[in-house]
Amino acid sequence: MSQTVSDARKAIEIAKDYVTQSMRVSYWGDVLECEIDKEMNEWKVIFTASPGILAPYYKYEIFIDAKTGSVKKARRIEK
């Protein structure tokens, strides 16, 4: 469902939903960065999360289209 992302809270919410549902990451950690690139009209959220009870927390980044709320790119950026 298309949704405009007008604030950081909404962007974080989308990132959280995406990472838990599509990237099999069960444990959300901290948000390290959340900012909008006005030129690209996309939100970048950098956060830590963990894929399992015994696993450590890794750093992830997600790019969200500010106009539609869809995730454009998501990846783990730290091993």
Partner 1 sequence: MTSTEPAEKIERARAYLNQSLEYFENASKAFKDGNPEKAGEFLWGSVATALKALVMAKKGIEIKSHSEFWDIARELTRETGDMSIYESYKEANSLHSNFYDSRLSLDDIKNSSKKIAELVKKLRNLTKDAIRNQA
Binding site for partner 1 (CB under 8 A): 26-27, 50, 52-55
In terms of DSSP H, where are the helices of 2-66? 8-22
Closer residue to partner 1 (CB): 50 or 68: 50
Nearest distance from C-beta of residue 15 to partner 1, angstroms: 17
Closer residue to partner 1 (CB): 31 or 36: 31
Q: What six digits make up the tokens of 50?
A: 């963990």
Dihedral through CA 71, CA 60, CA 26, CA 17, nearest 10?
-20
Closer residue to partner 1 (CB): 32 or 55: 55
Q: What amino acid occupies position 53? A: I
